[in-house]
Structure 1
Amino acid sequence: MNYETIKSLILTFLVLLSLILTWNLWTYQPDDEFINNDRVINDVEIREKKEIDQIVKPSHLLFHFEDVHHGKVDTDRFLEEFKKWSLSEIEPVENINEKTFVTFMHGNGKMEVVFPEEIPLQTFRYLTSFDSEIPNFSINRIVFDFKDDSFGNEPTIYLVNYEEKEVYSARVGNLSLNHLERAFYQTARTNPRYLSLKAEEGRYIFLPALDRKEEQIRTYNYFTDQLNPEDFKDALFSDPSIVTKDLTMDAEVYRDDSRLMRVTNHDYKLQYVNPGNTGNGNTFEFNVIEQGIEFINDHSGWTGPVESYHLDKWNRSTLEDSVTFRMHVGNYPVFNFNFDAVTEISQSWRNNELREYVRPTFEFGIIVPGSVQKQLPTGNSVLRKLEKMNVDLSKVTDIKVAYELKRVSNQKGIIIIEPVWVYQESNAMWTKLTFSEKDNLEGGM
């Protein structure tokens, strides 16, 4: 092969390579999802990332004996066991009707794992393993029957949508029901006693009895640490360099040509809005729980270690999907009833994109010395109070002990959290119960 032939081959190769590169350039289509997803543009780490199983957690466990019920709000030990299992053969249970449902759920020998909200079974893949296809339904309870000796080598557990009275059975690998019974059920009588309230036919509410003096809950004072709004500006706007900032009497307002972020001081709140997202709904596959957690992880937006956030509620509609993660301290949810602080992170989504993001601008700092124990009124006092208030029990969906967060008016930057009784109606707003000396109290104020 002579020199001219080699030159011709090289030239031909270069021409072909040029044509290929030109064609790729003309036909290149950028990833719309990447471009439209502002969250991936700016790599900002504000505080911490969290795994889904740290956010999606049960609210409490219930243990049912003959006519006595016990419960506990610390569920971490159960979740460690749950991670080891593998679920398979998930099938609907057809032989449970309206009359047998209550006994099936709350009868002797039963243990319930109670979640604060219905959760798509698909999301449970972050909490445990599945050895078969995951059906498309949501549950808010897991039931164990320690009196059932009909199972074979693999025990059966029950996945329940309590309000819909839908029950599914699942075979569980890597689970010893005897071990679970010894670890949880046989020692359950040492846990706090719970009262049962028949809210309506086929539905019961369980609340702590709080009839032991040792069941006191501590009140705490904390200094607050404020989060830097500039960090959120860098995280939430696609081009922070063009964002303008305006100061008002009680707010800092950031905006570009399509988005707005307002940080207010009177309620420690950040609100980010994308008003240009005027679409309706999201795709069928869109999971607002998982998407909401991922969004906060993208800018490491979880604070701690004193406070943590757990899934509180979510909703899907033809207009938008929304999700709320509630602040917790220890094992108790935190509420603010004075509208001077935000204790939840909420999001709304349309067209698979963020529409609105609201969250606290503070985190718990150093504890202020001098915390005290508080004895709350008993569960029976709570039931008498609700009856006295003429509350329609058929609409009450939950009663629990929580923390109320309040700002100390004469001490800037200090908050107090103290235990209170709260109740919820129709899965909506929570209301604090306020007691007086006229309420025939058992326990304390």
Structure 2
Amino acid sequence: MNKESIKSVLLTILVGISLFFTWNLWNSQPPFEELQNNSFVESVPINNIERELYEVIKPNKLFLHTPEQHFGTYDKQDVNNLWSEMQKWDYSLSTNRNLIQTFSKDKFINWINGNDEAKIELRFLDGVPFETFETMFNWETELIEDIRFDRIYLNVPREKEVQRVYFVSSDTLQYVEASVNLTDANTIVAEIYNQRNELIPFFAYGEDDNVQIYLPENEVKIDSYEYGTDEIEGSAFKNALFGNPQNVKQDVNSLRNRYTDSWRELNIHSSEHRVEFVNPTLRDTSFLESSALISQSVDYLNDHGGWTDDYIFYMINELNQEITYIMSIHSIPVFESDDKYFGPTKISQQWGQSEISIYERPSYQLMKNLSSNNTERLPSGHELIDVLSKDSSINIKDIKDIYIMYELQGETDQRIVKITPYWWAELQDGRVLKIDGNQRGDRSGLE
């Protein structure tokens, strides 16, 4: 056999081998439909609403203390306007002494009462890490230590004085003093002080036990509401919470609507108007400080469109890596009712390994306000103290604070909820109790 014959045979063999492998390659590929089904599909947020930190981490009460009188307001605009302006200020910490100082109990009470100068007080529902304040505000100097504050005080400066801002912990009486060298800051604070007679007069109660409770001198008139609700589809939560919703399977039974991708699980409890998302593979193997926990939780809600109503920061538990936000109407928090339970009013998250571990929230959102000019009359602080003194179920010494909160009531099979204001008592152990017999019951639309 000559060389040309050998080349022809080898070429034929190589072509045959190539055709064999090509045929196997084509036949081993899945059909086009199967490729489509296994492709990665990105999650889709419930809505496009995003919140800045200061829109979620914000005070819910404002007081003004002078040597002669205490004042307060239930008007959200007063609180929100000041809080928004404070985001524009430039803050600096004193470097001439220890940044973190501590009041004695007596000095703190005298200091609040404005014995040396008038002060504006902003209160938060729970302690906010100072690092979170640093993230929201503009700072020239930073505080290294991790500490949480639940109150901010602004002095009412005299002419040409710098504006001072005090971050205070009501539990430990620790505080940090900052200054704002800005004419606009002085002007805004002075305006609030000069208009103090337009605010509600308050009186101090229980200060001897280091409890600064301020109650209104007169009865309080505050609106109640009736809202229609809209149930968010389970598929919307599925598409928002799973990284690849295409791989999620659905299981429907009489108790719940369940979605799973083999390890994560989403449960829609329709009768409770509640959503529960669980990632059981995560364990507490990492630990986030409070400031990082807040930032991560807000980002998580922004990413999947979780701000379906107006929610504000309510509580944080660094030990358990838990954080809670509560629904609010005009900056007043809303609690779910025990006797007429419609659904939860809180968003709670538990974190592990920098990923969400447990996420619980309402499956509904408030829609159109169906009522108008419904005004409730709540008793004055003096009447309230009389009610408490006759209530054997509450020990006055156990009360940390007293404030107005809304309560959401509704039947589980209806889409209309009533939102009514009541007086509530926050106890030292963290429980919040509605004070029985505190409502005057007038819904006639008094102005």
Tell me the TM-score normalized by structure 1.
0.81
In the alignment, structure 1 residue 50 sits paired with structure 2 residue 43: no
Task: Give the counterpart of 1:141 among 144, 151, 160.
Answer: 151
Distance in 2 of aligned mates of 1:314 and 1:94: 24
Distance in 2 of aligned mates of 1:424 and 1:95: 24
CA spacing shift, 1:442–1:92, aligned 2, 3 Å = farther
C-alpha contact (below 8 Å) 1:47/1:301 kept by paired residues: no
Task: Give the counterpart of 2:404 among 401, 407, 419.
Answer: 401
Task: Give the counterpart of 1:198 among 200, 206, 212.
Answer: 206
Of 284-293 and 264-273, more deviation after overlay is shown by: 284-293
C-alpha contact (below 8 Å) 2:211/2:400 kept by paired residues: no
Letter in 2 for 1:434: D
In the alignment, structure 1 residue 227 sits paired with structure 2 residue 232: yes
C-alpha contact (below 8 Å) 1:199/1:396 kept by paired residues: no
Deviation at 1:175, TM superposition (A): 4.5
CA spacing shift, 1:229–1:106, aligned 2, 3 Å = farther
Aligned residues: 391
- 2:174 aligned partner: 166
Deviation at 1:55, TM superposition (A): 0.4
CA spacing shift, 1:119–1:204, aligned 2, 3 Å = same
Deviation at 1:427, TM superposition (A): 5.2
Distance in 2 of aligned mates of 1:115 and 1:376: 22
Task: Say which SS state the counterpart of residue 312 (structure 1) adopts.
Answer: strand
Task: Say which SS state the counterpart of residue 77 (structure 1) adopts.
Answer: helix
Distance in 1 of aligned mates of 2:440 and 2:246: 60
Percentage of identical aligned residues: 24
In the alignment, structure 1 residue 255 sits paired with structure 2 residue 257: no
Deviation at 1:154, TM superposition (A): 3.5
Task: Give the counterpart of 1:89 among 90, 93, 96.
Answer: 93
- 2:278 aligned partner: 273
Distance in 1 of aligned mates of 2:47 and 2:188: 40
For residues 23-422 of structure 1, the aligned pairs below 5 Å read 42-73=43-74, 74=76, 75-90=79-94, 91-92=98-99, 94=101, 96-108=103-115, 109-136=118-145, 137-146=147-156, 154-176=162-184, 178-198=186-206, 201-209=209-217, 211-212=218-219, 215-284=220-289, 287-304=292-309, 308-317=310-319, 320-338=320-338, 339-369=341-371, 372-390=374-392, 391-408=394-411, 412-422=414-424
C-alpha contact (below 8 Å) 1:315/1:323 kept by paired residues: yes
Deviation at 1:78, TM superposition (A): 0.4
Distance in 1 of aligned mates of 2:164 and 2:62: 18
Letter in 2 for 1:114: R
CA spacing shift, 1:46–1:155, aligned 2, 3 Å = closer
- 2:17 aligned partner: none
C-alpha contact (below 8 Å) 2:109/2:207 kept by paired residues: no
Deviation at 1:98, TM superposition (A): 2.6
C-alpha contact (below 8 Å) 2:156/2:163 kept by paired residues: no
Distance in 2 of aligned mates of 1:95 and 1:405: 40
Distance in 2 of aligned mates of 1:111 and 1:65: 9
Letter in 2 for 1:62: F
Q: Can you list the C-alpha shifts for 1:268-310, whole angstroms capped at 9, x where unaligned? A: 1101111111234414586211111110001111124xxx110
Task: Say which SS state the counterpart of residue 358 (structure 1) adopts.
Answer: strand
CA spacing shift, 1:94–1:275, aligned 2, 3 Å = closer
Tell me the TM-score normalized by structure 2.
0.80
C-alpha contact (below 8 Å) 1:377/1:443 kept by paired residues: no
- 2:20 aligned partner: none
CA spacing shift, 1:257–1:442, aligned 2, 3 Å = closer
- 1:17 aligned partner: none
Deviation at 1:352, TM superposition (A): 1.9
Task: Say which SS state the counterpart of residue 389 (structure 1) adopts.
Answer: coil
Unaligned ranges ≥5, structure 1: 1-39
Deviation at 1:429, TM superposition (A): 2.5
Distance in 1 of aligned mates of 2:365 and 2:102: 49
- 1:434 aligned partner: 436
Distance in 1 of aligned mates of 2:236 and 2:312: 23
Letter in 1 for 2:407: E
